[in-house]
Amino acid sequence: MANYLITGVAGFIGSHLAHALVAQGHSVRGIDNLATGLQTNLDELAGKTDFRLVDVRDAAATAAACEGIDVILHQAAIPSVPRSVLDPRTSHEANTNGTFNLLEGARAAGVSRVVYAASSSAYGDQPGFPRKETMAPQPISPYAVQKLTGELYMQSYWRVYGLETVCLRYFNIFGPRQDPNSPYSGVMARFIAQMLNGETPTILGDGEQGRDFTYVDNAVQANLLAATVPAERCAGRVFNVACGERHTLNQTYSYLRELLDFPHPANHGPTRSGDVRDSLADISEARHQLGYEPAVGFREGLTRTISWYRTQPTR
């Protein structure tokens, strides 16, 4: 059993990681400043984790949280393209400076490995699908630049200091506990919550933009593997984490309409600056090196997600 630190533990993906690690009997410390995360995401884990209200922009507090830790799963970030377009400084401070503080804390504390929540936004809008990790990054939004900077820092800390780091480029993760309530929320959470409330969602653009939507359990699996496979297979490397399937927003909306028996077609609005047009991953590297295999497909993921949102008193 290992001592884990999860940053952004009160968030969507962080809380799923905490549940999985606790279920496996690991010791879990979690830090979060509750900027976008919710304490209630950890309700079922009360007394089972060491939760600390820590902001990763605070170098000293972040370093203290790294003490006695074997493996860090670094999820803390302001995870929104449009928010980074509106207010790049705040995102930069959390996403770039926070990641740097974490690496410095990890290095000082002698942590063995850091697994980093990187983003498919690093690929930008260049031609060539599916996206392979060997493609040169072409980030568009400030968010994409910040997340890519984190990757480069991860790789540097492996090469220069021998701190084992693994970058997982998530492609549109969705599932229970994703917050639908902010204008910056992921499209899936927002659409499901709106449709359950009888409201008609708005698709930004023509809806033909594609996404490699990935159910959260698959991202959890990738993290657990990246935390444990031998360093020679993963340290200093970047892996796509996705399902390897493209679904357009229009297709996704029709699946949701069918599953929710929702009568209305979607509204359409203007495209958003900074968004990429298309997204589809090649996941063969994660398969070969980590042993990753997406276990929950798109439709099953949608069904599970809808079932969870139905149980929520306020949406």
| Active-site annotation, residues | 143
> Does 142 engage in binding with ligand NAD (CB under 6 A)?
no
From the list 48, 57, 257, 315, which residue makes contact with ligand NAD (rule: CB under 6 A)? Answer: 57
> Does 286 engage in binding with ligand NAD (CB under 6 A)?
no
DSSP-assigned letter for residue 54: -
Task: State the maximum Cα–Cα separation within the chain, in Å, rounded to a whole number.
Answer: 57
* DSSP-derived pairing of the beta strands 247-248 and 210-211: antiparallel
Structure-token match 């496996």, residue found: 24
> Does 33 engage in binding with ligand NAD (CB under 6 A)?
yes
From the list 20, 22, 35, 61, which residue makes contact with ligand NAD (rule: CB under 6 A)? Answer: 35
Packing angle of the helix pair 249-260, 298-310 (nearest 10 deg): 50
In the complex with ligand NAD, the residue whose CB is nearer, 26 or 169, is 169
In the complex with ligand NAD, the residue whose CB is nearer, 111 or 188, is 188
From 4-12, 152-160, 228-236, 243-251, span contacting ligand NAD (CB under 6 A)? 4-12
Integer-rounded Cα radius of gyration of the chain: 18
From 53-61, 106-114, 132-140, 193-201, span contacting ligand NAD (CB under 6 A)? 53-61
In the complex, least distance from residue 261 CB atom to ligand NAD, rounded to whole angstroms: 26
Contact 295, 217 (CB under 8 A): yes
**Alpha-carbon gap, residue 56 to 8, rounded angstroms:** 9
Residues with Cβ within 8 Å of residue 24, at least 6 apart in sequence? 1, 224
Binding residues for ligand NAD, rule: CB under 6 A, are: 8, 10-14, 32-37, 55-57, 75-79, 94, 98, 117, 119, 147, 170, 172-173, 186
